Amino acid sequence: MKDIRIGIIGFGTVGSGLAKTLYEQKDRLRQKTGANLTLARVADISITSLPKEYSDVVLSNDANDIFNDPEIDIVVELIGGMEPARTFMLTAIAKGKHVVTANKALLSIHGKEIFDAAVKNNVEVGYEASVGGGIPIIKALKEGLVANRINYIKGIMNGTANYILSQMTDRGLPFAEVLKKAQELGFAEADPTYDVEGIDTAHKLAILMTIAYGLDVRLDDINVEGISSIEPIDIEYARKFGYRIKLLAISRNHGDNIEARVHPTMVPENHMLASINGAFNGILINGDTVGDVLLYGAGAGMMPTGSAVAADVVDISRNILAGAINRVPALSYLPEHIGKPRITPMTDLVCPFYFRVTALDKPGVLSIITGIFGKHGISIRSMIQPGQDAGEPVHIVFRTHRAAEAAVKNAIKEIDALEICSAPTVKIRILNPE
C-alpha cells in the first residue's frame, strides 16, 4: 500500500486541526483512498515539541527541510499572510510538490502566479479551506455546479462580523462592546480590522468569483465597506421594517460585466441568509440549471477548517494514485480560458436603500429633505419620524424604492450640507429582490 507523505508549515490552530484529523481518521482515510496518508514533517518557528501522539513526525524550524525531503508529496502551507507564505508555496511547487493552503489573502492577490506555476510544474494546489471554513464551497463550484452559468453569489463569509451583528441584533448592544466580548471569547483577533471592515470577506469573494466566472478577480476589484459604523438604532429600525443587517458579499453576473461588492446589507427576515446567526457562514449560489443552492456551516475553527484542508489532501492523494494530476483545473476553467473581469462601477448599482437623517425638528424640514430626494429621482417607500421636542435633533428614517447609487450619493451630499442636519446621513443598502 502506497504512503502519501505530508509536510505541514505552521502548526497553529489549523495545522494542529489537520494533524488531529489525519491521526484520528487514519483508518477511514485508508479505506477511502487505498493509501496511508502520513504526516511526516512539521515546520514551525514557535514550538519546540509536538504532542506525544505525533512521535514519528519530524519537527523542524526550517521549512526548507520539508521542501528538500524527496519523500514529501504534499506541502500544506498554514502560516497565512503574504510573505514568506508566497515564497514557500512557489518553492514547494518548483520542487514538484503539491500544495494545500487556507490562505485566502494570498490567493486573492497572488493566486494567478501560484496557479500558473502549478500548471507549469504539473502539480496541484488545493485551497478548499480558504473560503467558508468547513463548508465545501470550492468543490461545489468547481465540480458540483460545473454545468451551470453562475448568475449570482451572495454570502455571509466572515464569522466574526456575523457574530457581532447577531449579538447587536439580539441584545441591543453597541458595536464596541460586542467586539470586546468577541475578542475575549476568541471569535475576534486582537486587531479585528480585516474581519469587521469586510476585507476578509472580500478576499473570499474574489476567489469564488474567479471560479464561478472564469475571470481573474483580485481584491482590488471589489468595493468594500465594513460594519464598524453600524449602530443599534439602525438595527432596531431595520427590525421595524422587517430586515436584519448582515455583512454580505454580493456578486451578480451581467454577462459583459460583474458586480463585486462587500457591505452591510438589510436582508428581509424571510430570506434564507437572514436566519444565519452567530459565527456561522452561509453562501447562496444561483445557477441557470440548478437554481438556488445554499451552503451553511462553521466558517472557521480548528476542526472545521482542518476538515477542509484534509479534503484537499485526500483529493490530491487520489489523483496521485490514479495518475490523474490536474484532472480538475484548479480554478474550474482551463487556464487559457480565464479572462480579465469588467467590474460594474458602484455608481451603476440600483437597489433599495435605508437612510437615517439627523435633523432639527422644525417646520418644513421634512419637506426640504424629501424634496431633495425627489429632485434626484429617489422615491420614498416608507418613513418613520419619532416624536421629539421642537428644535431638537431628531432621526428621520426612510426606506426607498430602487434607486441609483450615483443619485443617492449626490442626494446625501446635498442633505448633509444643510444647516438643519446635525450629523452625517446613514446609508445602508437593502438586498435586491430577485
Would you list which residues are annotated within the binding site for NADP(+)?
Answer: 9-16
d(CA 307, CA 129): 8
The sign of the dihedral angle between the CA atoms of 93, 85, 4, 45 is positive
Measured from the Cβ of residue 152, the count of other Cβ atoms closer than 10 Å reads 19
Q: Determine the Cα–Cα distance for residues 107 and 175; give it in Å rounded to an integer.
A: 30
81, burial (CB in 10 Å: exposed 0-12, middle 13-18, buried 19+): exposed
Q: Which residues are annotated as a binding site for L-homoserine?
A: 189
Would residue 246 show up in a list of annotated catalytic residues for this protein? no
Sorted by sequence, the CB contacts under 8 Å of residue 392 that are 6+ apart come out as: 360, 361
- What is the number of alpha carbons within 13 Å of residue 255 lying toward its C-beta? 1
Backbone angles phi, psi at 345, to 5 degrees: -60, 145
Known binding-site residue numbers for NADPH: 104
Helix 159-171 / helix 232-241 crossing angle, nearest 10 deg: 80
What amino acid is encoded at 153 in this protein? Answer: I
Of the residues 204, 240, 375, 409, only one is catalytic, namely 204
Point out the annotated binding site.
9-16, 104, 189
Integer Cα distance of 409 and 255 in angstroms: 26
Give catalytic residues, as residue numbers: 204
